[in-house]
Amino acid sequence: MSDWQLFIQTQKIEGSDDEYTCDASDLGLILVSGSDAQSFLQNQLSNDISLIDE
């Protein structure tokens, strides 16, 4: 069992049938900034970037 799983088991996490908690520790985070950041990301990703709230 991973450290993440042990941590989750010790927390009192409330959820519902349509909410999920998952381990994303193997994923990374990037910061894209600048005047053309939205256009750049729109060309890189399959999601509509204009619909994302800041």
- Residue 24 in any domain: the answer is yes
Res 54: pLDDT: 62
Which three-class secondary structure state does DSSP give residue 30? Answer: coil
The domain in which residue 31 lies consists of 3-49
Task: Choose between 34 and 10: higher pLDDT.
Answer: 34
Res 11: pLDDT: 81
- Residue 11 in any domain: the answer is yes
Res 36: pLDDT: 93
Token pair for 42 = 């729109």
- Residue 54 in any domain: the answer is no
Res 52: pLDDT: 81
- Residue 20 in any domain: the answer is yes
- pLDDT per position as a tens digit, 22-53: 777 788 888 889 999 999 999 998 889 888 87
The span from the CA of 32 to the CA of 36, in Å, is: 9
How many domains, in total, are found in the chain? 1
- Residue 14 in any domain: the answer is yes
